[in-house]
Amino acid sequence: MDAAPLTARVDAVRRFNRFYTQRIGVLRDGLYNSIYSLAEVRVLYELAHAERPLTATELARTLTIDAGYLSRILRKFEANALIRKLRSKSDGRQLHLSLTASGRKAFAPLDRASHDEIAALLAPLRVDAQHRVVDAMGAIESLLDGAGHLATPSRSTAPYRLRNHHPGDIGWVISRHGALYAQEYGWDDTFEALVAEIAAKFLKHFDPQCERCWIAERDGHNIGSVFLVRRSPTVAQLRLLSVEPSARGLGIGRHLVDECISFARAAGYRKIMLWTNAGLDAARHIYERAGFKPTREERHHSFGKDLVGQTFELKL
């Protein structure tokens, strides 16, 4: 390899790192004007978004952080009642870590501040320029993860990215919803017809300022989707969340829902609602972890089945 061009590329990456860390303020003593350092905020983030309690070993591996340094952070958090430790039932040597109510209360303003800072960073840019920034970041993440340099236990060795819908994606959404719900729940083709109606309405009346479709993509193949649509000036509706069976367990569903929530806040909505059915337990778990609360249930006969419809809402 030619050393000179490589040196130039290394310098370019280092220059970008200096630029970006300065723009997002990670070198401040207290991140987001808080008492917490960057490392401490990252530990809180991982614990807040974990699908299950984590061990210290898993945290250290995920964050690529020194075990001794992490241990000091965890001792501080425990002394301040931000985390709880429960001994594993399957392995008494392992302690499972999770946030307490005080820990979640401490993390909430940090999460909001992080969202607001990035929103302020993007706000001066046109919408198409914002998409270019996000796509470029996705390319960086995908390429580095694909090289195996930054892979973490929570991600597959084949990385995925979220993007906005392109021509042809909506037809894929309709087809996969029809096939998956027939295979997994025995629903008939009236469900696929409903999905087609929802998707067609989205395309006909799409307003990028207040609505969005995200597609999860891996190795050039679609593996998930979700829609956020305008229900009223203050209420958005989350619709058609789906993840391919081969891509489940990677946190993609949670990532898609998080994108909906972030976009809804930035668009000025005050609430997100969604409608689902009892028995779709994986999706319900994602919704509840994101803070959605059940507000109504009703029995109905649809898609060839007797079902219990459930409405969930999240106040923003």
Q: Is residue 211 assigned to a domain?
A: yes
Q: What does the pLDDT average to over 196-206?
A: 95
Which among 48, 81, 111 is the end of a domain? Answer: 111
Q: How confident is the model at residue 199 (pLDDT cuts 50, 70, 90)?
A: very high
Q: Is residue 256 assigned to a domain?
A: yes
Q: Measure the CA–CA gap between 26 and 15, rounded to whole angstroms.
A: 16
Strands (DSSP E) contained in 179-243 are 212-218, 221-230, 235-243
- What are 109-139's pLDDT values in tens digits? 988 888 888 888 888 988 777 877 877 787 7
Q: Is residue 126 assigned to a domain?
A: no
Query: Looking up tokens 């075990």, which residue turns up?
Result: 67
- The rounded Cα 248 to chain-centroid distance in angstroms is 13
Same domain (yes/no): 186, 55:
no
- What are 144-154's pLDDT values in tens digits? 765 444 334 34
Determine phi and psi for 217, rounding to 5 degrees. -130, 140
Same domain (yes/no): 47, 174:
no
Query: Hey, how many other C-beta atoms are within 10 angstroms of the C-beta on 181?
Result: 19
pLDDT of residue 276: 96
Q: Is residue 34 assigned to a domain?
A: yes
Check: CB of residue 164 under 8 Å from CB of residue 215: yes
**199 phi-psi bin (left φ>0, alpha ψ -120 to 50, beta other):** alpha
- What are 213-249's pLDDT values in tens digits? 999 998 788 999 999 999 999 999 999 999 998 888 8
Which among 111, 134, 152 is the end of a domain? Answer: 111
CATH number at 277 reads 3.40.630.30
Domain count, the chain: 2
Which is more confidently placed, 305 or 129? 305
Same domain (yes/no): 242, 185:
yes
Same domain (yes/no): 181, 309:
yes
Residue 207 lies in domain: 160-315
Q: What is the pTM of this model?
A: 0.53
Q: What does the pLDDT average to over 280-294?
A: 92
Same domain (yes/no): 33, 168:
no
Q: Give me the percent of the chain exceeding a pLDDT of 70.
A: 92
**91 phi-psi bin (left φ>0, alpha ψ -120 to 50, beta other):** beta
Residue 157 has pLDDT above 50, yes or no: no
Which among 51, 78, 111 is the end of a domain? Answer: 111
Same domain (yes/no): 106, 219:
no
Report the chain's mean pLDDT, rounded to a whole number. Answer: 87
Same domain (yes/no): 290, 166:
yes
